[in-house]
Amino acid sequence: MTPLLAHTSQAALANPELSPEARNSGTKRMNLFQAVNDALGTALMQDESVLIFGEDVAFGGVFRCTTKLAETYGGDRVFNTPLTEQGIVGFGIGLAAEGMRPVAEIQFADYIFPAFDQLVNEAAKYRYRDGANGRSAGGLTVRMPCGGVGHGGLYHSQSPESLFTHTPGLKVIIPRSPIQAKGLLLSAIRSNDPCLFMEPKILYRAAVEQVPTAAYTLPLSKAEVLKEGKDVTIISYGQPLYKCMDALKRAEQDLGISVELIDLRTIFPWDKETVLNSVRKTGRCMVVHESMINAGVGAEISAVIQGDHETFIRLEAPVARVAGWSIPTPLLYEAFNFPDVANHLLAVAPNMSNKEILSSFVEGAPPGELADVIADIKALTISTPNVLSELGPAFEKYNEEQFATVKLPGSSQQVIVSSHSSLGDGRYYDVESSSSFEFDHATQKASAAQSYVLEGAQADLVKSTLKSLSSYVKEHFPSAAHGVYPIENDSKIAIIIVANKYSPNNYWNGRWRSLYIFDPSSGSLEGSLKVDVHYYEDGNVRLLTNKPLSASIPSGTGAGILKEISTAEKKYQEELNKGFTGLSEGAFKGLRRQLPVTRQKIEWDKVASYRLGQDIGGGSSRR
């Protein structure tokens, strides 16, 4: 199996498509926009006929793909243009016709439409019109970021690749990773056909791997089999490949099937031989893409598969397509418009119920976003308004696993909902407030509070531990809920800390959860510390960490337990700092975010003070 991202130099240099020189070179850790920048710099260095131009490219571009190129190679080779897509592409066609190798940048794929006539009627037809001895636009490459990021809406999330696959004379390329981006972009620039190079912008900072530092090319119009299988073939390209990989892992685990995964890489002209050979082997096929389903890439691939006699007679089922809906990209429901793991699985296993799919949405909700998920489910299931009532187990699982917090009626104190504080039949209790309450898992509201006095063998230990825990939490967490509960027939106690910080205006949410189980009979303390942070402004990045803890508490006292917890959490937060520092040059540098976990405290307010949009684009822009 070929990993989607090469996280080691050995994996990066083992790529059989690399030249011997590239395989003998070193590597550098890059994200996708840095790999694009590296390829552009290489092209400028190696070929004086290469020029780069577009809106704002001189200072680096909206997504920083041309950073420092103007400084290095001069303003006569890397320069800004007026705000006219038709003019940018038309200028590039003229340069290519005169023997140059222009690389034109369109700021977003959504803005390519004013240049549609130039690409379809001029660039694509130039060679055919002038004949074998005439001029052509073969040296032209047009780059553009494409696809959704979760909040781009109508004019910043489109994937228009299929519109250009109807045009003989153009090549359409979409990379999945930094290694692929560098090699395929250099191939496009050196190609003697006009190329559209479409870069999934959600991967600019999210896809990070080791990339060979030497110049290298990867073959155009050649698909890559990322994983071999025998039961079903999945064909995709760009960002959806990551969803495909997650889905096939689930399918292989849950359904016991073997899945083959193919990355088209070049969307047109595409590699029919690799695809047909795979489908002849597996007998089943699914095509996945982010762009809308009607008249899309999947429709063409399906038609070719079912039109090829040798492949058609091997089909055990119709070719399935998983793609975007035939609607404008909706801002509020953008995530539901694109392929995800759930609808991949539904296509692979049609017997999977809508209830199971919706339950997976609920159980996977990021911190503080359950209400958003519920609203989305309501909007998407408007024809079945009672569907939420069927998701009770999923809501209960989510709230108990996430340690949902709620204020009791007439109180400002937060109490915790967990399996350890459950009394059954939807009731929970809290030791510190000496109360029990009903909890509605769908609305996350508490009601019917009553007095509840803890009794039992561990009551004294619970109360002493709670006293020490309260002091610890107030000192080390700006805002947190905590609780101590007897469990397992009053033979052990559970200690829980949960801290939430939601900042929708700054596009992030975070949750700290720690759970410890203390056994008084042995003095052992077992637990785990988890941090879940979701950033969703410039792409979706979610960090989930899980640190196990095992210790011995000889004293068996509440103070002794909290001393060990304090030491462990301080050490863990220091480890998180070091680990996140390693990410600072990757996803989080691109997101311009300070991480919310620091030594001693979760300093959420540092993130909240971030000025929205200040540096995301790297400068001013008209869009």
Hunting for tokens 């990045």 — which residue is that?
541
The whole-angstrom separation of Cα 181 and Cα 201 is 12
Could you tell me which residues come within 8 angstroms of residue 425 by beta carbon, excluding any fewer than 6 positions away?
none
Could you tell me the two tokens for 429?
């209790």
Using DSSP, state whether 375 is helix, strand or coil: helix
The whole-angstrom separation of Cα 471 and Cα 464 is 11
Q: Which of 105, 122, 156, 290 is catalytic?
A: 156
Hunting for tokens 């690389």 — which residue is that?
103
The whole-angstrom separation of Cα 240 and Cα 156 is 17
The whole-angstrom separation of Cα 244 and Cα 27 is 27
Amino acid at 358: L
Could you tell me which residues come within 8 angstroms of residue 199 by beta carbon, excluding any fewer than 6 positions away?
32, 33, 36, 65, 143, 144, 145, 146, 174, 175, 181
Strands (E), 337-379: none
- Beta carbons of 29 and 38 less than 8 angstroms apart: no
3-state secondary structure 243-268: HHHHHHHHHHHHHCCCEEEEECCEEE
85 is catalytic: yes
User: What does the DSSP assignment read for 202-259?
Assistant: THHHH-EEEEESS-----TT--EEEE--SSEEEEE-STHHHHHHHHHHHHHHHH---E
Could you tell me which residues come within 8 angstroms of residue 256 by beta carbon, excluding any fewer than 6 positions away?
none
Hunting for tokens 């339950």 — which residue is that?
359
Strands (E), 253-379: 259-263, 266-268, 285-292, 320-324
Could you tell me the two tokens for 336?
């539901």
Q: Which of 85, 105, 260, 564 is catalytic?
A: 85
Sign of CA dihedral 258, 264, 268, 271: negative
Sign of CA dihedral 546, 343, 231, 351: positive
Beta-bridge partner residues of 446: 439
The whole-angstrom separation of Cα 71 and Cα 56 is 14
Could you tell me which residues come within 8 angstroms of residue 561 by beta carbon, excluding any fewer than 6 positions away?
465, 468, 495, 516, 518, 525, 553
Residues marked as catalytic: 85, 156
